[in-house]
């Protein structure tokens, strides 16, 4: 069945006349004897949302870390706008316009919202006023950016983010990434720690990224509320290999579950009822 | 997209009283508990012995707190990045010995001798931090080992008599001199004006950026600073005047406070203590931040030792290296509100903490209670302060 799905991909490339924004070629990564990534090929088109799904240990996080420069692959190349680029550090990734929202959010709990939003990217006052941190400018920019993405309800931007709710923290992590105006946003399990309502907030943010003509790669286990809700294309990893690739249109959760587990008739009845629920939710 | 739409991303209602109080204590009211504690300590000892709250004893108390305070001040950046330096006391002893020997044996100028001592502190701080960041060995162990090596080095550097007598040397300028009253008042006026100007520019910047800002944020703190400075300087001028040593402590505090809240480096000190891997992923060289913290610490430890030598007009293995100085310095920083868990605190904690614990030991001395009471009290304060810190840290982590 893997072959069938891969052929389907070959038959229906996304926006065939468009050039891909980013392209991964033969990305491999080994940890001792473990092959975490095995010659991964992946294209990402402008304004496209690609979801990466797979069981635990499939290599999803390793793939994100490779693209974000946190854990360079052993072999393989990255093309950005058709040009070969070297991504060995998060700064390399930033330079070509790739920003990451990490699974752990990478927030400093003891710093306030503004400090977190601008960490490593601070605004400085003019030479005449001593090249200090420009607290006022950063705060007003932060306020505007948060309002823009609908996270305007943080009571004080000047109190430590450790005191905020999971949804607010997720919003801050995404906002920080948007403030750097990326072309590509990588999200690793952005809804894993959130309640239902907060999850919808994040889904809306992901759609918003697309509407701002940014491309998104999102890892998620949440097939109904995230993957089938936002993805244009879905890539399935299993044991480090890309085993399937779907267009969102015309597939359902049971196809995905089958591809993820490699078992074709896995809990068929249950999945079907899930799927109809999912369809209803979407309509 | 409106805010209501994403109510899922927001909390509703008011925070419970406890967490609001915690927020205040972490913010503007941060120094209220320690200031209250100092007032209570003073009241207690003044009731026991009226000699305690005299200008003469307060002046003495200030001088006594400077050495501990300088070591604690150096510890603040190291604690902020979530590390510890157990070598500060030994470092202070060796630096004092180096400076003393340069003065006596090499007959170099006092400034050169001081600079050499401070430079030595910075170098040792750099080397141990480089080792810690490179090997990943816990700082506690490395710096403790280094402190033993430094103690050995001091014994090696001291003459056979085991002590250096600095009587009659120029080193006395550090701890033996006082500001003339007129100059001290001029400094007060300058400090208040500078503070007001700084506050005002922050206010103008906020207003221009369209943020809520009120003139009260300029007037009220300026008024408090003015009253506070006037009281302190007035009291000190009733005895010998403002000790130069106090300035050598307070001015670096102000510099470090400025660095802490207005520079990238200062921000990264706090950030590194909060979440080092997030800082690294933000493109900041975490090791460099940590190393810089240890270098600052080494330099202040050395300087503290030199000021101590100036105060005692001598150096011996006992005077600065051994004994309780290390634990006093750590206690001072923690009592003042700098966390052992990293990411929380301020250079002011060195001043408040050192004042608090020196006030206690000074009072115990004054009452003639002897060393055993002093040791027991110091131990108790250390346990108490670190316990409060731990509970506060747990609370901060649970608050989410
Ligand atoms: N730093 C590492 N060291 C050793 N093995 C690792 C490391 N990171 C990931 N792996 C291994 O690589 C495989 C893929 O892991 P990961 O990418 O985290 O999976 P996923 O995110 O899909 O759950 C797993 O077998 C995991 O044990
Ligand atoms: Mg993972």
Domains of chain B, by residue range, sit at: 47-175+249-389, 178-242
Q: Can you give the C-alpha Rg of chain A in angstroms?
A: 20
CATH fold for domain B47-175+249-389? ABC transporter involved in vitamin B12 uptake, BtuC (1.10.3470)
In the stretch 272-331 of chain B, residues with CB closer than 8 A to chain A read: 273-275, 277-279, 281-284
Answer whether A73 contacts ligand 1 (Cβ < 6 A): no
Mean pLDDT across chain A, nearest whole number?
85
CB contact under 8 A, B211 and A129: no
3-state secondary structure of A255: helix
Q: Residue B339's closest chain A neighbor by CA? A: A110
Give the residue among B387, B361, B385, B384 at the shortest CA–CA distance from B374. Answer: B361
| Ligand sitting nearest the alpha carbon of A28 | 1
The structure tokens 């005692």 sit at B312
Mean pLDDT of A230-242: 94
pLDDT at A151: 75
The b-or-e profile of A172-205 (16+ CB within 10 A means b, else e) is bbbbbbbbeebbbbbbbbbbeebeeebbbbbbbb
Q: Is residue A95 part of a domain?
A: yes
pLDDT at B8: 37
CB contact under 8 A, A140 and B11: no
Query: Token digits for B335?
Result: 């009592």
Sign (positive or negative) of CA dihedral B284, B287, B291, B294? positive
Q: Is residue A196 part of a domain?
A: yes
Mean pLDDT of B301-324: 85
pLDDT at B27: 65
Query: Token digits for A2?
Result: 């893997």
Which range marks the domain in which residue A88 is found? 3-107+184-282
Cα A35 to ligand 1 centroid, rounded to whole Å: 9
Q: Is residue A57 part of a domain?
A: yes
B305 CB neighbour count, 10 Å cutoff? 35
> Could you tell me the pLDDT band of residue B13, with boundaries at 50, 70 and 90?
very low
Could you give the percent of chain A with pLDDT greater than 70? Answer: 87
Q: Is residue A149 part of a domain?
A: no
pLDDT at A272: 39
Checking if the pLDDT of B4 tops 50, the result is no
Contacts of B102 (CB under 8 A, 6+ apart): B108, B112, B113, B116, B117
Number of domains into which chain A is organized: 1
CB contact under 8 A, B400 and A165: yes
**pLDDT tens readout for residues A74-100:** 999 999 999 999 999 999 999 999 999
Q: Decide if A215 contacts A48 (C-beta within 8 A).
A: yes
Residue located nearest, by CA, to atom 12 of ligand 1:
A36
> Could you tell me the pLDDT band of residue A17, with boundaries at 50, 70 and 90?
low
CA–CA separation, A237 and A115 (whole Å): 36
Checking if the pLDDT of B18 tops 60, the result is yes
CA distances (Å), B117 to each of B85, B130, B314, B317, in order? 18, 20, 15, 16
CATH code for the domain in which residue A277 is found? 3.40.50.300
Spell out which residues of chain B touch residue A95, defining contact as CB-CB under 8 Å.
none
Three-class DSSP labels, chain B? CCCHHHHHHCCCCCCCHHHHHHHHHHCCCCCHHHHHHHHHHHHHHHHHCCCCCCHHHHHHHHHHHHHHHHHHHHHHHHHHCCCCCCCHHHHHHHHHHHHHHHHHHHCCCHHHHHHHHHHHHHHHHHHHHHHHHHHCCCHHHHHHHHHHHHHHHHHHHCCCCCEEECCCCCCHHHHCCECCHHHHHHHHHHHHHHHHHHHHHHHHHHHHCCCCCCCHHHHHHHHHHHHHHHHHHHHHHCCCCCEHHHHHHHHHHHHHHHHHHHCHHHHHHHHHHHCHHHHHHCCCCHHHHHHHHHHHHHHHHHHHHHHHHHHHCEEEHHHHHCCCHHHHHHHHHHHCCCCCCCCCCCCHHHHHHHHHHHHHHHHHHHCCCCHHHHHHHHHHHHHHHHHHHHHHHHHHHHCC
Can you state the percent helix, strand and coil of chain A, rounding each to 5?
40, 25, 40
Q: Residue B3's closest chain A neighbor by CA? A: A150
End-to-end CA distance of chain A: give it in Å, rounded.
Answer: 29
CB contact under 8 A, A167 and B400: no
Give the residue among B220, B110, B226, B128 at the shortest CA–CA distance from B172. Answer: B110
Cα A71 to ligand 1 centroid, rounded to whole Å: 11
Answer whether A42 contacts ligand 1 (Cβ < 6 A): no
The whole-model pTM stands at 0.88
Checking if the pLDDT of A28 tops 90, the result is yes
Checking if the pLDDT of B26 tops 70, the result is no
Answer whether A56 contacts ligand 1 (Cβ < 6 A): yes
Greatest mean pLDDT among A136-140, B30-34, B314-318: A136-140
Answer whether A266 contacts ligand 1 (Cβ < 6 A): no
Checking if the pLDDT of B400 tops 60, the result is no
Choose the mutation target among A88, A96, A131, A163 for the interface with B, i.e. most B CBs under 10 Å: A163
> Could you tell me the pLDDT band of residue B61, with boundaries at 50, 70 and 90?
very high
């Amino acid at each position: 069945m893997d072959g069938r799905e891969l052929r389907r991909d070959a038959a229906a490339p996304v926006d065939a006349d468009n050039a891909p924004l980013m392209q991964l070629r033969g990305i491999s990564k080994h940890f001792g004897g473990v092959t975490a990534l095995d010659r991964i090929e992946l294209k990402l088109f402008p304004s496209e949302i690609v979801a990466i799904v797979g069981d635990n240990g499939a290599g999803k996080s390793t793939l994100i870390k490779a693209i974000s420069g946190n854990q360079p692959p052993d072999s393989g190349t990255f093309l950005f706008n058709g040009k070969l680029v070297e991504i060995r550090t998060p700064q390399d990734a930033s330079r070509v316009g790739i920003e990451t929202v990490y699974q752990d959010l990478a927030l400093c709990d003891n710093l306030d919202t503004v400090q977190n939003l601008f960490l490593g990217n601070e605004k400085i006052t003019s030479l005449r006023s001593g090249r200090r941190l420009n607290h006022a400018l950063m705060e007003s920019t932060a306020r505007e950016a948060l309002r823009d993405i609908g996270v305007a309800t943080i009571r004080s931007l000047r109190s430590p983010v450790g005191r905020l709710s999971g949804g607010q923290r997720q919003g801050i992590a995404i906002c920080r990434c948007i403030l750097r105006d990326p072309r590509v946003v990588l999200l690793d399990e952005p809804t894993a720690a959130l309640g239902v309502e907060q999850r919808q907030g994040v889904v809306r943010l992901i759609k918003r990224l697309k509407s701002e003509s940014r491309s998104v790669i999102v890892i998620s286990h949440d097939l109904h509320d995230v993957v089938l809700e936002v993805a244009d294309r879905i890539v399935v990893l299993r044991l480090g290999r890309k085993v399937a690739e779907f267009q969102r249109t015309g597939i359902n959760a049971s196809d995905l579950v089958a591809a993820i587990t490699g078992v074709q008739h896995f809990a068929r009845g249950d999945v079907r009822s899930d799927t109809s629920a999912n369809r209803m939710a979407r309509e | 997209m409106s805010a209501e739409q994403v109510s899922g991303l927001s909390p509703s209602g008011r925070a419970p009283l406890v967490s609001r109080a915690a927020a205040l204590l972490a913010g503007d009211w941060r120094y209220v508990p320690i200031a209250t504690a100092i007032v209570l300590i003073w009241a207690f000892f003044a009731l026991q012995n009226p000699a305690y709250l005299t200008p003469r004893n307060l002046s003495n108390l200030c001088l006594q707190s400077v050495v501990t305070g300088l070591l604690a001040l150096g510890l603040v950046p190291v604690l902020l990045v979530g590390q510890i330096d157990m070598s500060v006391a030994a470092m202070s002893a060796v630096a004092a010995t180096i400076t003393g020997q340069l003065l006596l044996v090499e007959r170099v100028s006092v400034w050169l001798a001081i600079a050499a001592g401070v430079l030595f502190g910075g170098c040792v701080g750099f080397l141990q931090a480089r080792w810690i960041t490179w090997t990943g060995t816990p700082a506690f162990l490395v710096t403790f080992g280094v402190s033993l090596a430094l103690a050995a080095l001091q014994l090696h550097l001291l003459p056979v008599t085991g002590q250096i007598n600095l009587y009659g040397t120029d080193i006395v300028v550090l701890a033996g001199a006082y500001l003339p009253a007129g100059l001290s008042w001029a400094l007060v006026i300058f400090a208040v004006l500078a503070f007001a100007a700084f506050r005002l520019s922050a206010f103008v910047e906020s207003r221009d950026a369209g943020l809520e800002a009120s003139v009260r944020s300029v007037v009220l703190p300026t008024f408090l600073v003015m009253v506070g400075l006037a009281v302190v300087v007035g009291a000190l001028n009733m005895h010998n005047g403002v000790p130069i040593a106090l300035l050598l402590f307070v001015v670096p505090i102000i510099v470090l406070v400025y660095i802490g809240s207005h520079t990238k480096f200062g921000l990264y000190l706090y950030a590194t203590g909060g979440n080092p891997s997030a800082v690294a992923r933000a493109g900041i060289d975490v090791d460099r931040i940590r190393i810089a913290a240890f270098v600052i610490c080494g330099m202040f430890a050395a300087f503290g030792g030199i000021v101590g030598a100036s105060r005692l007009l001598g150096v011996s293995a006992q005077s600065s290296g051994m004994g309780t100085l290390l634990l006093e310095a750590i206690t001072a920083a923690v009592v003042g509100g700098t966390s052992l868990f990293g990411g929380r605190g301020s250079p002011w904690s060195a001043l408040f903490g050192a004042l608090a614990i020196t006030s206690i030991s000074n009072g115990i001395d004054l009452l003639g209670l002897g060393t055993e009471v002093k040791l027991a009290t110091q131990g108790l304060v250390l346990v108490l302060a670190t316990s409060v810190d731990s509970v506060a840290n747990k609370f901060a982590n649970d608050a989410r």
